[in-house]
Amino acid sequence: MDSLRHELTRFIQQPAAQQDPPALYRRLLTEAPVLDLGPLYVVSGHQEILTVLMNPGTNVDPTTVGLPRAGNTALLRVVNRMLPMRDGADHTRLKRLATAAFSHRRLEQMRERIEGTAARLLAPLIAAGSFELVADLAVPLPVAVSCAILDVPDSEQDRITGWASLVARAMLDPFGDGPEAAEIDAEFAEFHAYVEELCAARAAAPGDDLISRLTAARGEGRLDTEELLAFVVMLLANGLETLTSGLAVAAWELIRTPGLTARVRTEPALAAAVFDEAQRLGSPVRASARALTREVALGDTVVPAGSVAMLLYAAANRDPRRFADPDRFDPDRPERGHLAFGHGPHHCLGAPLSLIAGSAVLRGLAEADAVRELSTTLTDATARRNEQFAFGGVRELPVACPPRTELMEVAA
């Protein structure tokens, strides 16, 4: 067991150095679905994670067990007030405000804009004959999704991208006092001013978008200014990390799976299943943590109150007790219920939007593959993984797409 603890500790501290995470996940699931790792318990089993998430004594706020929150910048203070960071009545109140903005009707209103943006971004990349999918597509598209939710014009996308990058950087690498913290606060002040401009415009002419709803709620005293900002920050942070990674792993699986592009062309609805299965196998959110204010029994292990549980979603999504042949990419698998978007009260509200965006990209790539030969040199061995432990996925995905030789010969 000591060797497993050592390997897991190394992975947590240096995820990019871990060449074969699935092998580690298999060891954890076989030897210790719940592993005592000194100050915390690492939970990797699918059912064990569900038990933790549904335990009434489970909180996302670390201060409930005496741990401090990280970071001193104004941005991080707002981050700590985001919906995913709240518990109990506050979480219920804020989620109720957000739910309407993610209703089926609103999602359908945004679908055309998201699908159109995906097609607009893909067209010149395919025509160029090669591109880098992460930087050229998987970063700008999530920002476009955020713009659609906020109902801001695409012309603002460059500004929004800069602020989204700022949020992601600050969340992944919290800064203390110092020049860099002051720089972050200055940039965040510009972002705050921009959001207030949006709020003033929507107060004068309300719409059906999230900013309009939040502005009205603030005016009625149902949330304060930091909570309003936190909603917008949440959209930027979640989109640029989770959807960026999710798009990359889904495109990678589509391109390297023989015959899959042809299937998606003839069965466009299959794109959703391909994207969903790629999220299970790729787990863009690799792990999260929960503070336990009550003890919880996980199989033969009782995790005491006052503990912190690290929930290793990436391992649970490969749990053979839940998924047959779990390391195999299979969009036709009957088993669902993976944890890529969380579970329970904190299940990701943006999951349906991710599915819309991911499906649009996969259908576009599949259509392109009819006349262009899509390929990538990227392999499991050469993939540059995300260097932050909390988030999985690949950092780069080079794609070649020259015209198909057989079509050029016919044209000649």
According to the model, what pLDDT value does residue 325 have? 96
Task: Quick: pLDDT tens for 113-166.
Answer: 899 999 999 999 999 999 999 999 999 998 888 888 888 887 888 888 888 888
According to the model, what pLDDT value does residue 409 have? 55
Q: Is the confidence at residue 221, as pLDDT, over 90?
A: yes
Which residues have C-beta within 8 Å of that of residue 208, sequence separation ≥ 6? 106, 109, 151
| Residue the block writes with tokens 């995470």 | 21
According to the model, what pLDDT value does residue 179 have? 55
Euclidean distance between CA atoms 379 and 84, whole angstroms: 34
Average pLDDT over residues 372-392: 88
According to the model, what pLDDT value does residue 38 have? 78
* Predicted model pTM: 0.91
Q: Which of 54-68, 164-178, 271-285, 396-410 has the lowest mean pLDDT?
A: 164-178
Q: Looking at the domain covering 2-411, what would its CATH class be?
A: mainly alpha
Helices 140-150 and 225-238, axial angle in degrees (round to 10):
150
According to the model, what pLDDT value does residue 412 have? 47
The pLDDT confidence band at residue 406, using thresholds 50, 70 and 90, is low
b or e along 143-172 (b: 16 or more beta carbons within 10 Å of the residue's beta carbon)? Answer: bbbbbbbbbbebeebeebbebbebbbebbe
Residue 174 three-state SS? coil
Single-letter residue type at 204:
A
Which residues have C-beta within 8 Å of that of residue 112, sequence separation ≥ 6? none
Average pLDDT over residues 161-174: 74
According to the model, what pLDDT value does residue 173 have? 60
Beta strands per DSSP E along 27-133: 34-37, 40-43, 58-59, 130-132
Which is nearest to 289 in space by CA: 90, 24, 72, 64?
A: 64
Report the mean per-residue pLDDT for the chain: 89
Task: Quick: pLDDT tens for 38-97.
Answer: 779 999 999 999 999 999 999 998 888 888 776 667 888 888 888 888 999 999 998 888
Task: Quick: pLDDT tens for 321-357.
Answer: 999 999 999 999 998 899 999 998 888 888 999 999 9
Q: Which of 44-58, 147-161, 217-231, 282-296 has the lowest mean pLDDT?
A: 147-161
Which residues have C-beta within 8 Å of that of residue 222, sequence separation ≥ 6? 93, 97
Task: Quick: pLDDT tens for 18-30.
Answer: 666 889 999 999 9
Q: Which of 155-169, 181-195, 349-363 has the lowest mean pLDDT?
A: 155-169
Q: Where are the domains of the chain?
A: 2-411
Comparison of pLDDT for 350 and 367, the residue scoring more: 367
% the chain with pLDDT above 70? 93
Euclidean distance between CA atoms 374 and 368, whole angstroms: 8
According to the model, what pLDDT value does residue 98 have? 81
For CA atoms 51, 56, 60, 66, the dihedral sign is negative
